């Protein structure tokens, strides 16, 4: 005579173990897919000066000087190349998606001009509409002399350093 209750219990235990194993596998697959998709989410980067409208509105041309602007806005992102009385506060927001090139979403420049005495003369605002896309020239600068191949480069220094200095 065969004990049917024990066989039935054993089969239900196998069923429970198989079901838990399938649930665990499904959770691992869903977790892995979620992790991979989260890596593809767009990333925003804010670089440069973070503008505060209150600080900019508090500046008055003819009244403020370089020290008060420095206290209000902080150190400028750049100084003028030819005119050190020009201070530039630059901000740029970019967005990148996975491995693709980043795209500029917003770009702002505030140019603050001082007179020769260091008094605030004017404030100029520039945005994305004022940006100019520059394409660098990809030419090579010619050099004098001839180009050496790899063997000439490797062998040119042999016995070069053993000569006495005259």
Q: Say what the pLDDT of residue 88 is.
A: 94
The predicted-structure confidence for 36-91, as pLDDT tens digits, reads as follows 777 677 888 899 888 777 888 888 899 999 999 999 899 999 999 888 899 999 99
In 3D space, the residue among 47, 134, 127 whose CA is nearest the CA of residue 95 turns out to be: 47
Q: In sequence order, what DSSP letters do the residues of 6-22 get, joined into one string?
A: HHHHHHHHHHHHHHHHH
The predicted-structure confidence for 80-130, as pLDDT tens digits, reads as follows 988 889 999 999 999 988 778 888 899 999 999 999 999 999 999 999 898
The full set of domain ranges for the chain reads: 42-130
Tokens found for residue 4: 């049917």
Q: Say what the pLDDT of residue 97 is.
A: 80
Q: Say what the pLDDT of residue 114 is.
A: 94
Distances (CA, A) of 1 to 4, 5: 9, 12
Mean pLDDT over each residue of the chain, to the nearest integer: 82
Provide the sign of the torsion angle of the four alpha carbons 27, 28, 33, 36, taken in this order: positive
C-alpha 110/C-alpha 128 separation (Å) is: 12
Distances (CA, A) of 116 to 46, 93, 113, 146, 166: 33, 33, 10, 52, 58
Q: Say what the pLDDT of residue 30 is.
A: 87
């Amino acid at each position: 005579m065969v004990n049917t209750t024990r066989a039935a219990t054993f089969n239900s235990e196998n069923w429970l173990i198989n079901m838990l194993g399938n649930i665990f596998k499904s959770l691992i697959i869903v977790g892995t897919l979620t992790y991979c998709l989260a890596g593809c989410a767009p990333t925003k980067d804010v670089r440069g000066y973070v503008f505060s409208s209150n600080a900019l509105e508090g500046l008055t041309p003819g009244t403020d000087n370089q020290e008060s602007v420095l206290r209000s806005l902080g150190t400028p992102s750049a100084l003028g190349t030819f005119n050190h009385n020009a201070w530039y506060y630059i901000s740029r927001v970019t967005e990148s998606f996975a491995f693709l090139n980043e795209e500029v979403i917003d770009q702002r420049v505030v140019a603050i001009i001082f007179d020769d005495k260091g008094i605030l003369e004017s404030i100029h605002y520039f945005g994305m509409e004022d940006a100019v896309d520059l394409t660098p020239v990809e030419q090579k600068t010619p050099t004098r002399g001839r180009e050496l191949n790899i063997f000439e480069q490797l062998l040119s220094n042999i016995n070069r350093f053993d000569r006495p200095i005259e």
